[in-house]
Amino acid sequence: MEQPAAPGVAAAEGGEHPAGPGRWLSLIGLVLVLAFAGVAWVQSRALGLLNDTVSYQGDSLVWSFYQLEAETLRLRQVLDDLADHPQASGLEAVRDRYELFVSRISLIDPHRTRAVLSDLPRQAEVLAALQAFVQHADPLLAEGEGGARAGDARVWHDLVHRLDWLAAPMRELALQVNQAVGEQVTRRNEAVRLQNRLAIGLTVFQSLLTLAFAIIVMRQIRALHQRHHRLEQLAQHLQEARADAEQASRAKSAFLANMSHELRTPFNGLLGMLSLLEATPLEAQQRAHLATARESGRHLLALLNDVLDISTLESGRLEVHPHDVDLRGLVHDVAALMGTHARAKGLPLHCEVAPEVPQTLRADGKRLKQILFNLLGNAIKFTPGGEVRLEVAVRPAAGGAPERLALQVSDTGIGMDAATLARLFQRFSQGDASIQRRYGGTGLGLEISRSLARLMGGDIEVDSAPGQGSRFTVTIALERVQAPAEAAPPPSTAPVPAALSAEVLVTDDHPVNRSLMQAILQHLGHRVHLCENGAEAVEWLRQHRCDLVLMDVHMPVMDGLAATRAIRALPPPACDVPVIALTADAFDAARQRALEAGMNDFITKPVQVPVVVEALRRFVPRLAAAEDSSPRATQPVLQPEPGPAPGPGPTPTVAVSAAVPAFMPVSSPASSPMITSPAPAAPRPRLRVRRGEIAEWLDLEAIAEICVTVGLEGYRSLLAGLLAESSPALDELLRALDPAADPAAIRGAAHKFKGAVASLGLKRLAATAKAWELASAEAPLEAGQREQAAQALRDGFQHTRALCLRVGYLLA
């Protein structure tokens, strides 16, 4: 582009005339200036001409010559009269006329005429003759002695004669002057005419240039308009393209979300099968391969979970749902759970909550837990030795920033260099390649955590140096809530009396979900029937009655919505059964669809025990009535008592209750943070725990997930129900294994037992049960095998129980 000053011009013209209009404009501008200058010159010339004219017209030359001639004739007349009639008055008249005559001579003096006329041939000669006449006449006409007398007729005749002699040359001169002036006037007129023509020509030229200028400007404006129009069109296309791209991106994210959701189910199956394989007799080589395969599977599953969150994040559906959260309880739960993990690795986990941190605040507790699990998990993962610390404090409002809650996770681990820090929150980046190889992980967790923190009005800050450990600080907007003076007691999660027990139909295609729901409901004292899809459920309802249906929405064969419609089409009373949707889809649209299909309510996954209790209370009227008439006095011991509530003032920040595992360090601001060594606060079975044994027996991640769902206390309740000294579940299985019992019952009992223990993360025990379930499916078990199986299960049960007691999931 040659003319950066006028890029629009060049661009509008395209590549053919890169400098066309711009150069033309400059040229026309220059010529216009020249034309103006020319017009100005012509005008000034015309003015000069006019001024010349004025000055020489000051006294008309021709008129002067005429006057001189007239005065000459008048003088001759009075001289003639005097010669004929000599008298004094006549002489006086001659004298007056003579003076006038002389005064006219000066008018034809060359100094006046020369400015206008070139020298006239006769002028000097005539002037000389006139002056000679004056010289001759002056003495004659002088008054007094020297002058002639009136009677001197001869003198007057002589003067007349002389004047006659002058007449001819004077007339000729007058004619010459007349002609010369005429010539002069003609020349001047011609000059004026020429200048007028020039001026007209210049004006026409100027007009043409102005016209050309205007045309070019018009063209430019039109080109600009067109360009503007094209740009607008382009912008519109871009917007459409962007909308398309966003649509595609959303579709992709939704696809990813669905896929990862769908993939989790087979993965669970795969992992279960691997565990089962592990329980069979294997060579060392095979066992190692199996361990690798299982580890890979677990890794994939973790990756899948992260992808699910990321997809949700990308499709813009990641949401936080703030509610009143018991923050101290939440921190307490997280610390207790992660303390188990840290301990498995030999790391102490310190937890400090500053006194000014409110007991209750408004936040999304589940998401907050997710962030803390991620950060603490990382800290534990990347810390080979030393300690991990969780500190909660309030950042006061400062500099326009609002008051915030700061949760700081610090470790003494490997730390990160600046380059690693810079790409820490980038997707799929995790330290450097070697770290990734060494520690595994997807690197998605931090991004999700940060997105969540930002959704909660805060962020995550990182401070780290290689070898110095890392410090992650999560800040979220601190929304204080007035702690309700009389907090409504949470719905009792204690088992209801058998008389009140409800029959609940759970329909879910996911075995783990089924097991969990079964565990929860059975723990609550209800009877449960399980179905794997909607068709099965509808079929079961034709034959049986129940008090409540919990229905997954997305299922194979027949989904929850279709099943509900089918149920509502059944003959009464089956059609009146309350149906509650179970779904991970927490959108209003999904809720609306569920209600339209005839469902009564909506429980979002992961399910929380209190929500289930509440739903049962609402839809099974006799439960609500019983609750009202017999309050909590009859609650069994399975409901853990809350610790002493921290009151206002400098009370210890974390309530130390019997529920807190003793190895969890608890600090108070009054004393310096201290690490309590794992000293049992209550008598515990002396059990030697191998390094890594806890992780081998217990699926800590699954337990963490359950705890996220039902809380640590909830989990403890569930576990206590399952692992009671005399466990009904185990007893049922052992009865089936009795040599006297029907061999066909073994498989069902083993399956049921396996589902229950697996859903609570007791993976080794579940694997054992599953192995026998499979074995019994292949061929009826011999008596010896039954005994072997019963022994294995009893041993596994006891060991699991001991481990759970040891780490605090079970209370002695």
Partner 1 sequence: MNPSFAIPRRRVLLGAALAAALWRPASALDRPQGRVVLTIGGLIGEKNAAARAEFDMAMLAALPQHSFSTRTPWYPAARKFTGPLLRDVLAAVGAKGQTLRAVALNDYKVTLPVEDCKRYPVVLARLMDDQPMPVRDKGPLFIIYPFDSDEALRSERYYSRSAWQLKHIEVE
The residue ranges that bind partner 1 (CB under 8 A) are 54-55, 57-59, 67, 71, 96, 99-100, 102-103, 106, 111-112
State which residue, 58 or 316, has the beta carbon closest to partner 1: 58
| Nearest one of 107, 109, 103 to 74, comparing CA atoms | 103
State which residue, 181 or 409, has the beta carbon closest to partner 1: 181
What CA–CA distance (Å, rounded) separates 601 from 619? 10
Residue 452 near residue 446 (C-beta atoms within 8 A): no
State which residue, 126 or 276, has the beta carbon closest to partner 1: 126
| Nearest one of 711, 736, 712 to 793, comparing CA atoms | 736
Phi-psi region of 440 (alpha: psi -120 to 50; beta: other; left: phi over 0): left
Other residues' Cβ atoms within 10 Å of the Cβ of residue 731: 13
Report in angstroms how near the CB of residue 100 gets to partner 1 at its nearest. 5
Residue 603 near residue 582 (C-beta atoms within 8 A): yes
What CA–CA distance (Å, rounded) separates 450 from 340? 25
Residue 668 near residue 659 (C-beta atoms within 8 A): no
Residue 776 near residue 747 (C-beta atoms within 8 A): yes
What CA–CA distance (Å, rounded) separates 532 from 716? 27
| Nearest one of 427, 393, 398 to 409, comparing CA atoms | 393
Distances (CA, A) of 459 to 311, 355, 473, 478, 614: 20, 23, 8, 12, 35
Whether omega for the bond prior to residue 606 falls within 30 degrees of 0, making it cis, is: yes
Count of residues for the chain?
812
Amino acid at residue number 361:
L
Report in angstroms how near the CB of residue 174 gets to partner 1 at its nearest. 17
Report how far apart the first and last C-alpha atoms of the chain are (Å, whole number): 86
What CA–CA distance (Å, rounded) separates 273 from 264? 14
CA dihedral 194, 196, 198, 202 (to 10 degrees): 180
State which residue, 50 or 465, has the beta carbon closest to partner 1: 50
Report in angstroms how near the CB of residue 84 gets to partner 1 at its nearest. 23
What CA–CA distance (Å, rounded) separates 702 from 513? 12
Report in angstroms how near the CB of residue 44 gets to partner 1 at its nearest. 16
State which residue, 111 or 686, has the beta carbon closest to partner 1: 111
State which residue, 64 or 768, has the beta carbon closest to partner 1: 64
Q: What is the DSSP secondary structure assignment for residue 739, as one 8-state letter?
A: T
Report in angstroms how near the CB of residue 156 gets to partner 1 at its nearest. 20
What CA–CA distance (Å, rounded) separates 318 from 455? 9
What CA–CA distance (Å, rounded) separates 205 from 752? 106
Amino acid at residue number 493:
T
Q: Which helix (H) or strand (E) holds 506?
A: strand 503-507
Report in angstroms how near the CB of residue 112 gets to partner 1 at its nearest. 8
State which residue, 94 or 102, has the beta carbon closest to partner 1: 102
Report in angstroms how near the CB of residue 175 gets to partner 1 at its nearest. 22
State which residue, 96 or 246, has the beta carbon closest to partner 1: 96
What CA–CA distance (Å, rounded) separates 391 from 410? 8
State which residue, 96 or 295, has the beta carbon closest to partner 1: 96
Six-digit token pair at 652? 């210890």
Amino acid at residue number 560:
G
**How many Cα atoms are found within 13 Å in the side-chain-facing hemisphere of 347?**
28
State which residue, 101 or 715, has the beta carbon closest to partner 1: 101
State which residue, 67 or 727, has the beta carbon closest to partner 1: 67
Report in angstroms how near the CB of residue 110 gets to partner 1 at its nearest. 11
Report in angstroms how near the CB of residue 60 gets to partner 1 at its nearest. 9
Report in angstroms how near the CB of residue 199 gets to partner 1 at its nearest. 24
Report in angstroms how near the CB of residue 57 gets to partner 1 at its nearest. 5
Q: How many helices (H) and strands (E) does the chain have?
A: 25, 12
Report in angstroms how near the CB of residue 49 gets to partner 1 at its nearest. 15
What CA–CA distance (Å, rounded) separates 811 from 717? 10
Q: What is the DSSP secondary structure assignment for residue 97, as one 8-state letter?
A: H
Residue 587 near residue 317 (C-beta atoms within 8 A): yes
What CA–CA distance (Å, rounded) separates 808 from 567? 44
State which residue, 54 or 498, has the beta carbon closest to partner 1: 54
Report in angstroms how near the CB of residue 68 gets to partner 1 at its nearest. 11
Report in angstroms how near the CB of residue 56 gets to partner 1 at its nearest. 9
Amino acid at residue number 580:
I
State which residue, 71 or 713, has the beta carbon closest to partner 1: 71
State which residue, 114 or 187, has the beta carbon closest to partner 1: 114
Report in angstroms how near the CB of residue 31 gets to partner 1 at its nearest. 36
State which residue, 116 or 302, has the beta carbon closest to partner 1: 116
Report in angstroms how near the CB of residue 69 gets to partner 1 at its nearest. 12
Other residues' Cβ atoms within 10 Å of the Cβ of residue 122: 17
State which residue, 68 or 310, has the beta carbon closest to partner 1: 68
Radius of gyration of the chain (CA): 60
What CA–CA distance (Å, rounded) separates 723 from 707? 17
